Amino acid sequence: MTRRLGVMTRDCAGINAALRAVVRTATGRQAEVYGIIRGYDGLIDGELRPLDRRTVSGIINLGGTILKSARSERFLTEEGQLQAVRMIENHKLDGLIVIGGNGSLTGAHLLATKYGFQVIGIPATIDNDLGQVDQCLGADTAVNVALDALDKIRDTATSLERIFVVEVMGRECGYLAMKVALAGGCEDVILPEQDFDLNEICQEIQAGNAQGKVSWIVIVAEGKARAQDVATAITLLTGLETRIAVLGHIQRGGRPTAIDRILGAKLGWAAVEALLAGENDKCITLKNEEIIPIPLEMVIKPKKLVFEPEYRLLKLLS
């Protein structure tokens, strides 16, 4: 039986690699694939285009998504959802693969549970905050992109003997902040998962300063504090000159790392196989190289990460 699959994406590194795997696996199994342009907005508007092996050539190394993406306000309404379902029916899609983070996968879960549509998710977000998912697509590239920026900031921090406060993305999750801080050899990190004491940080800076230590880098997770507020407080309490850098969206772009390309290939392949095998309302994950479909309901619940051991190591080595 020929099947018609739809695929839509959010944006982050590794998504194009996953898309290539979805299309090539599906066409190899005699299924047709339709790319939905601009996510749920494109689904509502019926913006679909057929994808074949050639349309996904030369994209494995590209960041972002060739399908484009959008945050859809309309899909949050009942009217928007019904229009999306009408479009799915009009285009005779009998399965959908959704590649994205919490918002995208919440929409996928809704299509499966409220409207009875067959859906499989692929976890992709730089925040790496999805429940039960060890490694989301895009997170490894984001850590490496932020680390590259941090290494450059360190050149100035060292040369000019300054304190830098660097804010990284991640929403309510400190994954990106913790990994970047540890890999970047930073002096401290402020995380949503842990309390922090600015007085203590400043006392450490002053004590270090008295012994000749002149440059510091403190990473701040956006979900916990703002770099500007932390920097202002440090200058006020220590009298030392402080600069900030907010890395922003550069963390979501860039050439995917080998880890993200390989993860994308595996997840894309496994998502199609799961869909064709009749799985529904699941998210594809990898655990010890094993492909595991997890109910979307569990994946869209934020995960609780514990960073104390890594934080202790950072403090020990700083």
Active site residues: 127
Residue 125 within binding range of ligand F6P, rule CB under 6 A: yes
Which residue, 221 or 294, has its beta carbon nearer to ligand F6P? 221
CB of 222 to ligand F6P, least distance (A): 6
Contact pick of 126, 157, 165, 265 for ligand F6P (by CB under 6 A): 126
Nearer to ligand F6P, 11 or 187 (CB): 11
State yes or no: residue 13 binds ligand F6P (CB under 6 A): no
Q: What is the size of the binding site for ligand F6P (CB under 6 A)?
A: 10
User: CA-to-CA distance for 113 and 107, rounded, in angstroms?
Assistant: 10
* Element of type H or E holding 222: none
Number of other CB atoms surrounding residue 308 within 10 Å: 10
Name the token pair of 307. 């960073």
Q: How far apart are CA 233 and CA 211, in angstroms?
A: 22
Answer for the pair 220, 234: CB distance below 8 angstroms, yes or no.
Answer: no
**Distance, CA of 122 to CA of 22 (rounded, Å):** 10
Give the x-and-dash track for 83-102 against ligand F6P (CB under 6 A): ------------------x-
Does 169 contact ligand F6P by CB under 6 A? yes
Which amino acid type is present at position 81?
Answer: Q
Q: Does 268 bind ligand F6P (CB under 6 A)?
A: no
Nearest one of 75, 90, 72, 57 to 10, comparing CA atoms:
72
Query: With left for phi above 0 and alpha for psi between -120 and 50, is residue 35 left, alpha or beta?
Result: beta
Assess 127 for contact with ligand F6P (CB under 6 A): yes
d(CA 188, CA 216): 8
What binding mask, one character per residue, do residues 30-69 give for ligand F6P by CB under 6 A, x or -?
----------------------------------------
Query: Nearest-CA neighbor of 284 among 88, 50, 48, 7?
Result: 7
Q: Which stretch binds ligand F6P (CB under 6 A): 120-128, 191-199, 205-213, 256-264?
A: 120-128
Q: Is 282 in the site for ligand F6P (CB under 6 A)?
A: no
Q: Which range, of 58-66, 166-174, 182-190, 298-306, touches ligand F6P by CB under 6 A?
A: 166-174
Residue from 252, 261, 266, 282 in contact with ligand F6P (CB under 6 A): 252
Comparison of 125 and 238: residue with beta carbon closer to ligand F6P: 125
Rule CB under 6 A: is residue 254 a binding residue for ligand F6P?
A: no
Question: Residue 193 in contact with residue 170, Cβ under 8 Å?
Answer: no
DSSP state of 101: S
Query: What are residue 262's phi and psi, to 5 degrees?
Result: -70, -40
What does the block give as tokens for 123?
Answer: 């976890």
Q: How far is the CB of 123 from ligand F6P (least distance, A)?
A: 12
Please give the residue ranges that form the binding site for ligand F6P (CB under 6 A).
71, 101, 125-127, 169-171, 222, 252
